[in-house]
Each structure stands twice: as structure tokens, then as C-alpha cells.
Amino acid sequence: MEVTRRNFKDCLNTVYSAIEEADFLAIDGEFSGISDGPNVSALTNGLDTPEERYTKLKKHSMDFLLFQFGLCTFKYDQTKSKYITKPFNFYIFPKPFSRTSPDIKFICQSSSIDFLASQGFDFNKVFCNGIPYLNQDEEAQLREQMEERRNQHANGVGTPSFISPSSKGPAHVPEEHKDFINKVIEKVETLFTNSEKTLDLEPCTGFQRKLIYQTLNWKFPKGLHVETVETEKKERFIQVSKVDEEERKRREQQKLEKEQEELSDAVGFSRVIHAISKSGKLVVGHNMLLDVMHTIHQFYCPLPEDLQDFKEVTMCVFPRLLDTKLMASTQPFKELITNTSLAELEKQLKESPFKSPQVETAEGFHSYDTAQEQLHEAGYDAYITGLCFISMANYLGSFLTPPKAYIPARSKLVEPFFNKLFLMRIIDIPYLNITGPDLQPKRDHVLYVTFPKEWKTSDIYQLFSAFGNIQVSWIDDTSAFVSLSQTDQVQIAMNTSRYAESYRIQTYAEYIQGKQQEKEKLGQTPKTWGEDSWAKSHYTASSTSAAFGYSRALRKRSISPVQGEQGARDSQITDGWSNYSYPDSTGSKKMRTDALNEQTNTEAVESKTSEGWLKTADSSDTAGLSPIPDEAPEGTNEAGDADGTVTWQQASSRMHGRKGPKSKKKQTEAAESTTSLFEVPEVW
Amino acid sequence: MEVTRRNFKDCLNTVYSAIEEADFLAIDGEFSGISDGPNVSALTNGLDTPEERYTKLKKHSMDFLLFQFGLCTFKYDQTKSKYITKPFNFYIFPKPFSRTSPDIKFICQSSSIDFLASQGFDFNKVFCNGIPYLNQDEEAQLREQMEERRNQHANGVGTPSFISPSSKGPAHVPEEHKDFINKVIEKVETLFTNSEKTLDLEPCTGFQRKLIYQTLNWKFPKGLHVETVETEKKERFIQVSKVDEEERKRREQQKLEKEQEELSDAVGFSRVIHAISKSGKLVVGHNMLLDVMHTIHQFYCPLPEDLQDFKEVTMCVFPRLLDTKLMASTQPFKELITNTSLAELEKQLKESPFKSPQVETAEGFHSYDTAQEQLHEAGYDAYITGLCFISMANYLGSFLTPPKAYIPARSKLVEPFFNKLFLMRIIDIPYLNITGPDLQPKRDHVLYVTFPKEWKTSDIYQLFSAFGNIQVSWIDDTSAFVSLSQTDQVQIAMNTSRYAESYRIQTYAEYIQGKQQEKEKLGQTPKTWGEDSWAKSHYTASSTSAAFGYSRALRKRSISPVQGEQGARDSQITDGWSNYSYPDSTGSKKMRTDALNEQTNTEAVESKTSEGWLKTADSSDTAGLSPIPDEAPEGTNEAGDADGTVTWQQASSRMHGRKGPKSKKKQTEAAESTTSLFEVPEVW
């Protein structure tokens, strides 16, 4: 269903009930751009920490506009043994709803706009008929403004700047307006004596109208209703009506209701997000970190500085998230799925060993045909994201004894995938863990190298030629991370560099320490996120999650990813990557403990699948970065396999291109050696 | 004529010849926004200096996109006694033309977008079919890149990073690729011995293709043509063809021509600006400062820091400009025209004493109907701007003896209006003088006041209540200019403030001095605009201007606006505003002297109109700012009389609204007292 400003109010109840009845929701957003940074490779360094990545995305992506929001609700029909879907495609635009509403500015990135244009995106629908929205602060502000205005009118005073020492006294009428105001008073006095019911004053300036309001409210506190009316020519004049007290109250009431409706209209699309949030339903997305960040930023509140605070806000807005890209990159799917872009994933999940999910579009809704792709319409993308989730969830049922063909969204089998958002192109941290501390891979074999800006990847390769295969992750023109294949070579590399003049090598630990010290020097102490400034999470151990419990051990594991009980699989590991250290305790100190859940979830998981799943696939994004051909005279159309990832890649390769052959070279070589060198770490 | 990417190449010759044959051109631009500043009133303080205003516009307006460019050419047909018009409406969008082209980001302002949407603007046409463009630097860069790539191919090497010590030697092939490359060499050797004409290699990575290029170019310098081809699946592979030397050269030539065409396509719309620039024709616009700034910024070069440098660049790009808003605000029009917004101006100029111009749309062009307004389509706005100019120019003919009904664009009668761009809402400087130093009004009666941020306009009024009417121009929350009606009161005001603690008063001169010192402290010495870095002006005393000369005195007057010979009119002046001081000599040191013109323009002007025209109208923009009614719950549709000015006002009032009643108050009072207090200064 296409929802614009024209039909938003009429659709809202349909949306609400679709959310309310759903088993799970799928979402997707389309943006006016991805990154405003000068250099996307710096934005996505393969060895970013989660904090760094969050900070970069916040800084370089939030000024774009989320202008299409796809929501697809999925409700399982037991009798039909299929899901009934309700897809919505919302067009979003911050139309200033009045002259006092915020005038939003947003950035457009021409590559993103051009890409959407090539996909048939309808910009006119966005800009002409997009649904407005306010975040919570703006809503509160507007509400306050309205109340203030009401109070002023009630008190018979204008704006505070006109309040005279005694606010009950007469308005201060500047000399030059005294004649004008006195004439108005005369006219109103005449009105009281004659049989007319209303009196239309001459059009006048806003300042004069203000004086009239103040004067009349003070002089005639009862028996009058004063209102500003507009002529066809948009001239404003004041209409004074004789009314009894009852009529006056009725009119005030009418006005109040009208204001409430205006406020509600202004909050607009944010009401849909509130409903999703309040429902506590599982929200599924594909590669959804940016979607989540944009949704919160645009409809809820400006993003907090600190990653930990972001995680808490996210849990308030979306209590349960599932990222299908992360799921597809994890055991048991990683070995079966070669390409985790949304379009490819959807295709592969139709084929054995997976099964096409049984779905039916609800009556009155547009029925999407997955054979005729409509990728990059947010509603369609949300729809197929939901399909992917169903296929993968059901596949998990095949591991049960006896196997089950249908696994509901609230099944404990999918819980290990909850609240882990895919991190693009970080070599050793596959996801952002929203409900706990992040993985802290050991980076003992990583060196931080600084060098003259003339250096190219080949120079770095030459420098480290004695150490076999290396992996280079450029940070900027004069620095890069170099990952050695064996940790024990790190000390040798450090020793050989001791007397070097043109370059400098630090261990990763030294680098991180240096950064920390720099931060402390700048007086940046970690901010605390005032608990009272945020609404408490809407999601407090809902009855569904209590009913379908999971073992306490499993739950714990999803919070602290490194547990002792992994001996069996350690043997599979071929490099030094498997050691994730425990994050220091401060990282988790503010996390909710879900005490309720822990008490009730005592049911043990009886399934051979409860371990060994969350092994991520070899990072297809990193590999996808590599071969950037540079003899090609023109950009090829990468639309075919494009999801958010590819748009990003396009931007990236183009950016690099601008720097000339040098940076292209860097990317090509660095990326090519990625996959061959390392296994992506185990997560479980 | 609507011109998009689809028909741009086909239309280009039509555009060129329309420009070439025209008597004058009219232009107009539509932008994705006006101001990204937090506060428009700060952006347009009524006492800005021209330098301040330029700096503000440059800083806060250039990140928007000029996405529709209107050009209307006017050619006078002697036999028909009417103008033949050719209107063009260009849709502009920086579509990245290849993966190495710049990925432009631009800002959209929701109020501007919403306004254009309400006018039926077609955003899809812009974003899907907009014509690309490059500025001069980007064009040069692209040309260089292409040449570099060509040279590399010719030399048989890849990117410089792969050049081995002797660039004629073999490529350095990394160990892991040696097998692969050796197999390729074998295959090519086989190709030479068999009867096949071409050999298709397997798809491979960009890095591998690079190695192949290098190796084959080195090993087989003759007899081969190596090319990257793309499969339908967008996979790239290398095709090797046996060719004789002639065939090889032919193919190289083909490639070269294709590249030239690509370059030309990428330069795109900028070619139209180059043609306008080269023609040296009079370019007419309405309130055109932002149009000129955007056009230069987008299609020519980033705007210089310094106003003086901007003026010089402007003269290079647009050697002769005329702003119809400035013309309409100036004698002899100011007394006849009450509203200088484009739509109103066009209406008034159809009525007595003016005459509707006789125009006819050229065959094959869309004929606009001025009765059915299509305002805010750039092509239409350019068209009616041209009509306004014709009406006003012809009106000047009525002052001649004998009167003339038709005054050509090259007439000396219109020259006084050349190169003066309307400055919105500056109280005492009506225009930016592109070909000379700007007016420097005396601001002896102006005080700079700082105060606590709680202060409102009423507090300032109260403070100065002893001094009669004042005018307040807010700078920010804690400072404002206060203009007294009489200069001799300044010292009294200063004296009374001596012991004040909550506020501080400085004279305008002290304020300017303080600012200057601050600047010097920051080490900001005025930059010089390297002459060699800019193309010389295309406009070097064209034959038309030489033929229609003007008196040396008149010319001089247009450079130094204050001359002694004004005694007669001084008596009309009712306040102290008429004294403009001479700008200091540094201001004009870099101006071109137009020596040629001065020598040839000895023909005296025989007309009673040669003096007394350039009196500007009472600043309708300032007045237009005033009555912002704030009881009105919703924005009214200000489209009716909207041109650039009104869009700005909308933004302004909305911005103010956000600050709450306080700032609204400021604006209302301040503006209301403007017109009553001061005559706008004489310019001549």
C-alpha cells in the first residue's frame, strides 16, 4: 500500500492493526545519500572498532534524508499454513507544516539519487506528497508553543515581550498606534449597543492585531470572541463577535481540538514508528544498521554521542531486531549462501535446501511479484527481507527432532540472532551487539604504520616482503593497518623498523593506547546517558518471550560471546583469530539484565543446532570490494546485485577514482589478499 | 524548449545560434534551497556591508544546487517591430558520468523544495534526466586523467605505481599471479600462430587485467590490440586482437574520439554558460545576485573568498549584467512601481505609463502565456524578466526628444543600470556594484549595542525612548544596530550609556574598527587574486558599446557614485542619508579601466533623462518583511507574489517562528519603523 500525505490519516488505523496482529515486521529505508565523507574507505576501515564505526556513520550519514520507509507485516495463518503479508510503502518528507515548524535541510548525494532514479524512484511523490514527521523533542516543543499561545490568549496578553509589569493591566500601546487602537475600541463599543452580531475590522499589520487582541481582552474580558480571519487575497483582519459565555467556551473548545489535530498531523509518520516501538514485535531488516540509525535520528531523537547510549536508545525504539544479512552470514547458513546481498539472498533461499516461504498478500494490498523485481522500493525490499527471514527460520526447524517445517518468529531457535546488526567490512567483528558488549578480537598481529604520503600499497608490500602475505587496511594517505599472517612476526617487524626514518611502526595495542591518551588530553571523558531523559524501554519481557524461553546458558552466551565450552570447535580454527578477549566490565555496566527472562527461561534447548550456528560467512563484502577495473572508461551499471552495500561500493570506487590511479591501486591489492589470508572469526 | 540530458546534444546548436543572434539574454535559476544558516535575519542584516553580505551568501547558500536554469534569448526584428524570443528551460543534475567523476553532494531546504513542489516543479525530470556539468577545474582534471591513461597505454605500462625501475622493462608480476600471466602469454603466442583473429581471455580481477595489459604491451609491442570488454553479466574480460599497425592506429583514433565525446558530454551544461560568456551579450536577471553566484560556482569555479575577486570573476563570466529589480527600484521607475517582485512588476509594466512589449515566440518554441502564470519555472521567469527589461527600456525612450518607442538593449540609455546587482534588504546600499567600488553610506547615526540575551526589541525601544523613533537591526541574540533619526543624538546616547552595566554602546565607526582589528589579529591579510589563475575577461570593449558611447563623465559617475553635481536634487533629501563617502583607493585598485571605452565614448548624452534616474525606490523588501502575523496557526500560501525574495521571507519568518514570539516581535517592530524613518539614499 502506497502511503503519502494524501491518504496517511485514512491509512493509519490499517497500519496500526497490521502491526498489532503481526507475528513479525520487516522494514527498509531509502535514503538521499550514504556518506558525505570525502573518502568512503576511511569511513569503513576493515579494522574499525564498533565505537569508531558508529561515530563515523553518525557523523557522515545522518544528514541524509530517509525519504521512503518500507514496512511489511507478517502474520501466520494457522489454517492456511501460510503468512499473510501487508506491505506498506511510506513516502516521507519534512514538509514545514506551518511557519513556525522547523525548516529541515538535508543532503543529497548525486550517486545515490542517480541510482534511485535509475530504479524508477518517484521523487515527485516524496517531495510533493511526502508525510511529515517530528522527533520527540520537536513534538514537545510544538506542544509547548501551542499551550503557551493558548495561555496568552486566555490571559488576554500577547507574547511575553508585550507583558507590562502587571500582566493584568492594559497593553502598552506605542504612541503612533494609539489613535488606531482607540478607534477600534470605539467600534467595539458600538457593536455592543447595536444589533449586529459581528464586526469586521480593517486589515492591518500583525503588530496592530496583537495590540487589538491585548486591548480587547483586557477591556472586554467577557462577551466577545476575537479571531483573525483571512480574506481571499490572503489579507488578515480581525473579526469581533458578540458571544455569550457558553458560545465562547464552545469556540475555545473547537479551537483546542483543531490544534490537537494539527499537532497530530505534524507528528505524522513518527506515529508509525511509535506504534512499531510500542508493539515490541520482532523487527527484521537486511543490513539494517543505517536503517535503524536513520529511523531513530529522524523520528525519535538525535543520535547520542556514545555507542553504549545508542544501544540503549535502540532497545527503547526497537526492542527486538534481527538482521537477515548477519543471519545469512552465520552458521548454519554461511556455508550454503555465497552472496548475502538482498536480491541474491532472496533467490538462493528459494532453492534447496531452503524452501520458498508460503505467503499471501492480504486483501486490498498490492501483491508483489518476486519474479519481477522491484528492488529499491522500500516496501518491496521490506517484503523480501521478511521472506528471507521466514526461509532461514524454517530451515532451522529441519535440525529439530522431529523436524518442523514452520518455525515461528518467537521461537527460541531464532533468538541467537536477535539484536546483532551486521557490520559492513570489518574484518574480525561481524556485528554490532545491541544488547551486550561487542566482540573484542585480538589484534596482536596488526601493526599501525605511518609513512610519507607518496607511499603506495606496493611500497608497503615491499617493506613487509620478508613476512609473507600481509593485509593492508588504509586509514588515510599516510597511515594504514598492516596485518601479518603470524603474530610471532610482529616483534621481528618492530625490531627491523627501529632505525627507520621514513616510516614508523606501532603495535595495534600501542596505537589504541595512543588514541586513548589523545582523547583524555582533549578532556573527553565518557558521557553518561541520563536515564531520566529517555523513555524506558517499551519492551519489558513480554509474555511471548517468557512463554518461549531459552536456556540461561544460551542467553548468557549471547551476551558474552566468549565462553569456555568451545573446545570441540577450536580445532577447526586455522589461525590466531579465535581469541576474543572479554571486554572490560565498564562496557556492560549499563546493560539491562532481563532478570525476568533469566528467571523464567529454564526450559532447556533440545536440539543439535543450539551450538555451532553463529559462525559468520567469509566476509563477502570485503571480497566484493576488490577488483576495481580501471581500464573501463565508464561506470557499469551495478544495479543488478545492488543493495546498500553496492551503492556504497559505487561511491567508494568513484571516490577513489578521483584520487587517481594511486588509491585505486591500494584498494585492489589490499582487498584481493583479504580472503585468502584469514578465516573470519567464530562468533559463538 | 525543455532541455534535459535526453535532448541536450541535439539542442546545443539551437542554443548556440539563439545566443549568437540575440540582442540580449535573460536568465533565471531555481535552487534546492536558499540559506542553510540557522537564522536568516542574521544572514540579511539591514546594515551589512557588501563584503559581509557576499561572505554570508557564499557561506550559507552555495551548497544548494542550481537545478533548473532558464535562458530566454531576445532578438529584435526590425521589419516586424517586435522581439523574437527563444525560451529554454534546462534541467540540471550532477549525474556522475563515470565511476571516476565527482560525486557531488548538495543540500535541500525543505521549505524551498516544498514551495517548488506547490508550483508543480518536476523533480523527477531533474533527478532522472538532468544535464550534467563540470566546472573548469573538474574539466581540466578529467582531461588530464584521460591523457594520462592514454599515455600509459601507449607506453605499455599501467598506473605509475606499477612502473618498474626501468619503465621499459617487464611488469612486476607478484608470485601468486605468475602462473596466471604465463598462461595468458602462452595463449597469445598461440593466437599468433593460428588463424583466429581474436582471443577472449577468462574474466578476471582488475589487478590481473592490469598485469595482462602491462605484460602484453611489453612482450608484444606490435601487432596486437588489447581491450577490456564487458559481458552481459557485467563481468569484464580482456579481448586480444591481431591487428596490423594501420588497424591499430585506427582503433586508437576511434578511442580518442570517443573519449573526446565523453569529455564533452561530461562538461555538459557548462558549455551553455561558456557560450553565454563568450557572446559578451547583455544578460538580464531579476534580483540576480544569487543566480550569478550559483552559476559561477557551479559551472565555472568555486567562488573566491574576497568580494573584489568575485567581481572580477563575474566580469569574466558575465561581462554585462542588468538586474531588473534594481532597475525597477531606481529613478525614473521607483515612483511608478509599488512592488518590485517579478510577478507584480510584470503586471505593472503592462499598464500605463508603460507599454506591453511586442514579442513573438520563435517557431518551434513553447509559447508562454503571461495570463496563465507559470512562475518559478526558470524558463518562464527568464522570459518575463526579459519582458520587464524591454518595457522599462522602452519607457526610457519616452524621455528623448523626439521620444522613441523602441530602445535597444545596447542603447546608452540603459547603460547606467549595467552591472549593479540588487542587494536585498540593505537599508542604505541598494546594489552591489560589479564594475566599481561599492557605495559607502555614512552610518554616523548608527549605534552598535550589546546587551543580555534576555533583551527584546521593546527593551531596546525603552532604552532609546528619549531619542524618538529608532530603527533596530538585530545582529544576533545579544547585539543589534540601532539607527537614530538624528546624528547629533549619537553623542548624547553614548554619554548616557557610559555607566551602564547591562549593555554597551559603540558608534558604528568603533564597531567597524573593532572588527578590522579582530581580523588583523587573526592574521587575515587581504588575499590577492592571482591574475594568471583566471581567464581574462571575454568582454573587451565590444564594438557595440564603442559605437553607442556615453559621456566620460557619465561613465565615471557609474564608478564613483558620489559626484559634486547633485546640488539641485539635494534639496529633495529629507535626512542625512545622501552623503556617501568615497571608498578608499584600495577598493578600486584592481578594477579594469576600460581605457578603450573612455577614449571613444565622447558622444554627449542629449537627453533630459541622463540625470536623476538612479534614485532607488523605497525598499519594498524591507517593508515586505514587516507584518508577520503570529496568531495565524498555519502558513499562508505566499506563492502569489513570490519570487526569490518571498521564498526568502518564508524561510525567514519560519526561522523566526522557531525562536518563539520574541524574535517575531523583533522583526515586526523593527521593520515597521523602517519605511517611515528613512528615505532610501540617492545613488546618482
Listing DSSP states for A72-92 in one string gives EEEEEETTTTEEEEEEEEEEB
Give the three-class secondary structure for B208: helix
What's the rounded Cα separation, in Å, for the pair B68 and B89? 7
Contact B99 A653 (CB under 8 A): yes
Q: Which site among A110, A119, A212, A258 would you substitute to test the B interface, given the most B Cβ atoms closer than 10 Å to its Cβ? A: A110
Residue B241 pairs with which residues in a beta bridge? Answer: B198, B225
What's the rounded Cα separation, in Å, for the pair B533 and A668? 36
Question: Rounded to a whole number, what is the distance in Å from the CA of A206 to chain B's nearest CA?
Answer: 4
A359-361 and A236-242 beta bridge pairing: unpaired
Range with the lowest mean pLDDT among A173-182, A581-590, B183-192, B642-651? B642-651
pLDDT in tens, A33-62: 988 766 666 677 888 999 999 999 999 999
Question: What pLDDT does residue A575 have?
Answer: 34
**If you ran DSSP here, which 8-state letter would residue A592 be given?**
-
DSSP for A34-46, written as a single string: S--SS-HHHHT-T
CB of A366 closer than 8 Å to CB of A2: yes
Using CA coordinates, name the residue in chain B closest to A259.
B633
B110 in contact with A, Cβ within 8 Å: yes
Q: Which three cell numbers stand for residue A562?
A: 566468549
Contact A635 B96 (CB under 8 A): yes
> Does A197 or B333 have the greater pLDDT score?
B333
Backbone angles phi, psi at B606, to 5 degrees: -105, 85
What's the rounded Cα separation, in Å, for the pair B358 and B391? 9
DSSP for B21-75, written as a single string: H-SEEEEEEEES-S--SS-HHHHT-TT--HHHHHHHHHHHHTTB-EEEEEEEEEE
Question: Rounded to a whole number, what is the distance in Å from the CA of A101 to chain B's nearest CA?
Answer: 7
Contact A634 B97 (CB under 8 A): yes
What's the rounded Cα separation, in Å, for the pair B433 and B417? 10
Chain A residues with CB inside 8 Å of B651's CB? 103
CB of B447 closer than 8 Å to CB of B508: yes
Chain B residues with CB inside 8 Å of A108's CB? 32, 65, 105-108
**If you ran DSSP here, which 8-state letter would residue A591 be given?**
S
CA geometry: angle B355, B361, B362, nearest 5 deg: 140
CA-based end-to-end distance of chain B: 40
- Nearest in space to B264 (alpha carbons), one of B126, B143, B101, B89: B143
**pLDDT of B665 strictly over 70:** no
Chain A residues with CB inside 8 Å of B114's CB? 93, 95-96, 127
Q: Which three cell numbers stand for residue A479?
A: 597511515
Amino acid, single-letter form, for residue B168: K
Burial class (CB in 10 A: 0-12, 13-18, 19+), B157: buried
Q: Which site among A207, A233, A465, A659 would you substitute to test the B interface, given the most B Cβ atoms closer than 10 Å to its Cβ? A: A207
pLDDT in tens, B409-438: 999 999 999 999 999 988 889 999 999 999
Amino acid, single-letter form, for residue A429: I
What's the rounded Cα separation, in Å, for the pair B445 and B493? 10
Q: Nearest Cβ partner of B102 from A210, A638, A658?
A: A658
B452 in contact with A, Cβ within 8 Å: no
Contact B635 A228 (CB under 8 A): no
Sign of torsion over alpha carbons B487, B489, B492, B494: negative
**pLDDT of B363 strictly over 70:** yes
H or E, element range at A382? helix A378-397
**pLDDT of B277 strictly over 90:** yes
What's the rounded Cα separation, in Å, for the pair B90 and B495? 59
Looking at A523-660, list the stretches that DSSP marks H as alpha helix, in order from N- to C-terminal side: 543-547, 552-559, 567-570, 595-600, 620-625, 644-659
Question: What pLDDT does residue A586 have?
Answer: 40
Contact A228 B631 (CB under 8 A): yes
Question: What pLDDT does residue A218 have?
Answer: 83
Write the CB contacts of A203 (distance below 8 Å, at least 6 apart in sequence). Answer: A231, A235, A236, A237
B5 — pLDDT class (breaks 50, 70, 90): very high
Q: Residue B358 to residues B18, B355, B534: CA-CA distances in angstroms?
A: 19, 9, 40
Contact A668 B205 (CB under 8 A): yes
Q: Which site among A151, A153, A631 would you substitute to test the B interface, given the most B Cβ atoms closer than 10 Å to its Cβ? A: A631
Give the three-class secondary structure for B323: strand
**Most confident segment among A437-451, B95-109, B633-647:** A437-451
Q: Nearest Cβ partner of A669 from B128, B204, B207?
A: B207
CB of B240 closer than 8 Å to CB of B191: yes
Q: Nearest Cβ partner of B228 from A107, A113, A629?
A: A629
**pLDDT of B18 strictly over 80:** yes
Range with the lowest mean pLDDT among A123-137, B276-290, B479-493? B479-493
Q: Which three cell numbers stand for residue B282?
A: 547583455
H or E, element range at A218? helix A206-219
- Nearest in space to A211 (alpha carbons), one of A166, A177, A250, A245: A177
C-beta atoms surrounding A568 within 10 Å: 9
Average pLDDT over residues B202-210: 80
B178 in contact with A, Cβ within 8 Å: no
> Does A587 or B389 have the greater pLDDT score?
B389
Q: Nearest Cβ partner of A123 from B127, B160, B635?
A: B127
Give the three-class secondary structure for A527: coil
A192 in contact with B, Cβ within 8 Å: no
Chain A residues with CB inside 8 Å of B160's CB? 661-662
A232 in contact with B, Cβ within 8 Å: no
Under-70 pLDDT residues of chain A: 37-42, 100, 152-171, 233-234, 523-684
Average pLDDT over residues B387-411: 95
Please report the residues numbered 476 through 505 in chain A whose beta carbons come closer than 8 angstroms to any beta carbon of chain B.
Answer: none
Task: Examine residue A332 and say whether the peptide bond preceding it is cis (omega within 30 degrees of 0).
Answer: yes
Question: What pLDDT does residue B153 have?
Answer: 62
- Nearest in space to A471 (alpha carbons), one of A258, A251, A671: A671
Q: Which three cell numbers stand for residue B253?
A: 583514433
Question: What pLDDT does residue A170 have?
Answer: 64
In this prediction, what percent of chain B has a pLDDT beyond 90? Answer: 41
Write the CB contacts of A633 (distance below 8 Å, at least 6 apart in sequence). Answer: B98, B258, B259, B262
**pLDDT of B680 strictly over 80:** no
Chain B residues with CB inside 8 Å of A122's CB? 124
